[in-house]
Amino acid sequence: MAAIRATDTEPELAVRREIHALGYRYRLHVRGLPGRPDIVFPSRRKIIFVHGCFWHQHRCRRWSPRTLAHDYWGPKLKGNRKRDRINRAKLRRLGWELLVLWECQIHDQTSLCQTLRSFLR
Ligand SMILES: [Zn+2]
């Protein structure tokens, strides 16, 4: 269980396909940056995180406060959120611009495309 890492998840692949179609080049899972960000645009100094709603506790339709009260998942997921927050703050201090895309938001291809365009421009 400890070794499982959510790389190359379906939502992330969908975002990468879209970025590729827009013609941008990126690097993946860059070590040495806080949080090992999913998609990195070094020359633009921009980073995109693709977050699963459950693992990163997005407060969306799927969210339930009961999850955080769960003996096993609660502490784990709270830890994820805290780590996300700390990593975002570190990256901003290093001068990176960040975009967080949530799993539940990327199914609408048109709006995903718009969001990516305006972020990467
Ligand atoms: Zn969500």
Report the pLDDT value the prediction gives residue 8, as an integer from 0 to 100.
72
CA dihedral angle for residue 12, residue 15, residue 17, residue 21, rounded to 10 degrees: -160
CA of 32 to the centre of ligand 1 (A): 28
CA of 18 to the centre of ligand 1 (A): 19
Backbone angles phi, psi at 118, to 5 degrees: -75, -30
Tell me whether residue 5 is exposed, middle or buried, using C-beta atoms within 10 angstroms of its C-beta: 0 to 12, 13 to 18, 19 or more. exposed
Output 64-68 pairs: Cβ under 8 A, ≥24 positions apart: none
CA of 60 to the centre of ligand 1 (A): 5
Q: Per-residue pLDDT for 3 more than 50?
A: no
Report the pLDDT value the prediction gives residue 6, as an integer from 0 to 100.
55
Report the pLDDT value the prediction gives residue 57, as an integer from 0 to 100.
93
14-58 confidence digits (pLDDT tens):
999 999 999 999 999 888 999 999 999 999 999 999 999 999 999
CA of 16 to the centre of ligand 1 (A): 18
CA of 61 to the centre of ligand 1 (A): 7
65-101 confidence digits (pLDDT tens):
888 899 999 999 999 999 999 999 999 999 999 999 9
CB 81 within 8 A of CB 35: no
Structure tokens at 11: 């939502």
